[in-house]
Amino acid sequence: MVASSKLVRCGLTLAASALLLAPACARRPIEAPEAAPRNVNEDRVIADFKERLAKYEAVSDKLRGEVFPSTTEIKAEEIHKRQKELAARIVAALPGWRQGALFTPEMSTLVRRRLAEVLRGTSGANVRGAIFDEDEGPPVSKVVVMTEYPAGAPIATVPAQILEVLPVLPKELEYRFVGRDLILFDVSAYLMVDVVHDAIK
């Protein structure tokens, strides 16, 4: 399903606020059994992916604490401004960041393979229909990592069947579809962190 940009931005702003206010114990995600490595090679690739995620999380968490201090009450209308500030700080702190910093070629191949399996399954047509919509609105011409998600562009949700087969993410990151691409989206910073192009065929 694709939501309008205005509603999405509002919803993600509220989500970012909830994320920052939630207790640590409530933010620990649980990985589905289907996401586990299926062989030695997948074990290595997924372990490397999680190490890369942890490094990004260490940087973003530190900066998030500076921009959104837990001791300061932040008004709803200021959250967007602080999201942009956080995004700028993350980009500055990771000057060598490039596409593939998280989704390595091997991890991208794993993602495409697992998505293809889901889409070939008995619920594949429903899953595809939940991602794509005839009324998508203007598409994003090209995903550029470490940039803000474009205003006016729709953001497609990720069905549970797909989330179940992908490694769990740190609390601030989400998988999101942009057309046929799968991005890692930093909700607190409204930032596209990495992308698997043509994740869905």
Task: Tell me the per-residue pLDDT of 89-108, one tens digit each, with 9 for 90 and over.
Answer: 999 999 999 999 999 999 99
Q: What pLDDT, on the 0 to 100 scale, is given for residue 72?
A: 74
| Strand ranges inside the chain, DSSP E | 2-3, 147-148, 155-156, 173-178, 181-186, 191-196
Whether 16 is covered by a domain: the verdict is yes
Whether 133 is covered by a domain: the verdict is yes
- For residue 197, pLDDT over 90 is answered with yes
Q: How many domains does the chain have?
A: 1
| Residue percentage of the chain with pLDDT more than 90 | 60
Whether 71 is covered by a domain: the verdict is yes
Tokens for 129, please give them. 């229909």
Task: Tell me the per-residue pLDDT of 119-150, one tens digit each, with 9 for 90 and over.
Answer: 999 989 999 988 887 445 556 668 899 999 87
Q: Looking at the whole model, is its pTM more than 0.85?
A: no
H or E stretch covering 111: helix 105-120
User: What value does the mean pLDDT take over residues 159-182?
Assistant: 93
* DSSP secondary structure string for all residues of 54-105: HHHHHHHHHHHHHHS-TTS---HHHHHHHHHHHHHHHHHH-TT--TTSSS-H
* Greater pLDDT, 4 or 28: 28
pLDDT band at residue 69, thresholds of 50, 70 and 90? Answer: confident
Whether 201 is covered by a domain: the verdict is no
Q: What pLDDT, on the 0 to 100 scale, is given for residue 21?
A: 46
Which range of residues forms the domain containing residue 161? 2-196
Whether 164 is covered by a domain: the verdict is yes
User: What value does the mean pLDDT take over residues 68-73?
Assistant: 80
Q: What is the DSSP letter of 10?
A: H
User: What value does the mean pLDDT take over residues 65-69?
Assistant: 91
State the maximum Cα–Cα separation within the chain, in Å, rounded to a whole number. 49
Whether 47 is covered by a domain: the verdict is yes
Q: What pLDDT, on the 0 to 100 scale, is given for residue 5?
A: 45
H or E stretch covering 5: helix 5-21
Q: How far apart are CA 119 and CA 112, in angstroms?
A: 10
Q: What pLDDT, on the 0 to 100 scale, is given for residue 153?
A: 72
* Greater pLDDT, 195 or 73: 195
